[in-house]
Structure 1
Amino acid sequence: MQSVFYPDERILERYDIKGCQVNRWTEPAPEGSQVIVVLKDLNFEGNSIHLGQQRSWLLRQVQLDTQFLKELNVLDYSLLVAFQPLHADEKGQNLSFADIIFRTTISSKSDSDLARILAQNRRLLPRCKSPLHLLDGPEFRYFMGIIDLFTVYSFRKRLEHLWKCIRYRDQTFSTVSPSDYARRLCQWVESHTV
């Protein structure tokens, strides 16, 4: 979490998102408490991530990342999200697509290689302290990153899935096939961003 939430000064809320319901509520810290609590999906209900122009970049990046994890047969990862209010002098300075610099190496690359590199949706934001995890909206800076990507959809996880289908009928839970898991996280990002 420290690598995603850096620099962490002024962060108001932190969320661990899986795109499901079962066991996805955390009791918030009491008002004025110095305890850092990472909230979950159900705590996020009613909130939105306001990105403007950068929304399409985020949707594409989450799609690429979850596709990669699906191909590795992985599930149970989380999208970390944190909100940090922008200072008055930072508002209206959010990066446009013209400011996003795609990292490519043009020398000796074929057209298909360049197309593949550009399709990876890479970006470098040189003016940011943590360029890979930051997106500026009109009011907030959002820190985002995918973590906990070591759970493989093994025979044991398939049995757990069957048990949870019975136990949590009509509810969403984290133990599903990697393709369902990837699709669900992409849908969550799409439905919670503007």
Structure 2
Amino acid sequence: MNGTGKTTSTAKLANLLKKQGHSLVLAAADTFRAAAVEQLEVWAKRVDVPIIKGPPNGDPSAVCFDAYSSAIARKADFLICDTAGRLHTRHNLMEELRKVQRTLGKKDPTAPHEVLLVVDATTGGNALQQAKEFNKTVPLTGVIVTKLDGSGKGGVLVAIQQELGIPARFVGTGEHMEDFEAFVPETFLDQML
């Protein structure tokens, strides 16, 4: 969904990986939201990583395909594709995710290697339903929870793990680039209690 912090989380993940010594490429595959590409471009400059983009309203899977080629040519360790926010009830938008997966699979049958759903800690139980539907469309490998610095406690992560077996991978705890870290269950439980 829009407003959960997908693009910001993409940039924060890129920053984290770069600080760990990895090379990466960003794909601006949110081609429909006004200013999404520009937002990711600003973040890419801050992190100092290359970004691949396509034309406005272009095919997101084509952007990801081109970005994969660029990442291979650059010998990058990671490619991170920032796709558009979408409601899990919109069939055509969910099919777009399947197309991105199929397109990346043409480059590498095991791609994408990670599929992370970004959920807002304040959405509560609706995030579980989102995870269920997204997981049916494109099997998820993890969850990023954002806005843990606000009123949300992120308890839905427990439900997503228990019901779907999808682990939390990262947490966003603020608006700054450094307010992002790997999920540590013990720390999370201490903060919830």
If the length of structure 1 is used for normalisation, what is the TM-score? 0.25
Larger radius of gyration: 1
If the length of structure 2 is used for normalisation, what is the TM-score? 0.25
Higher relative contact order (CA 8 A, sep 6+): 1
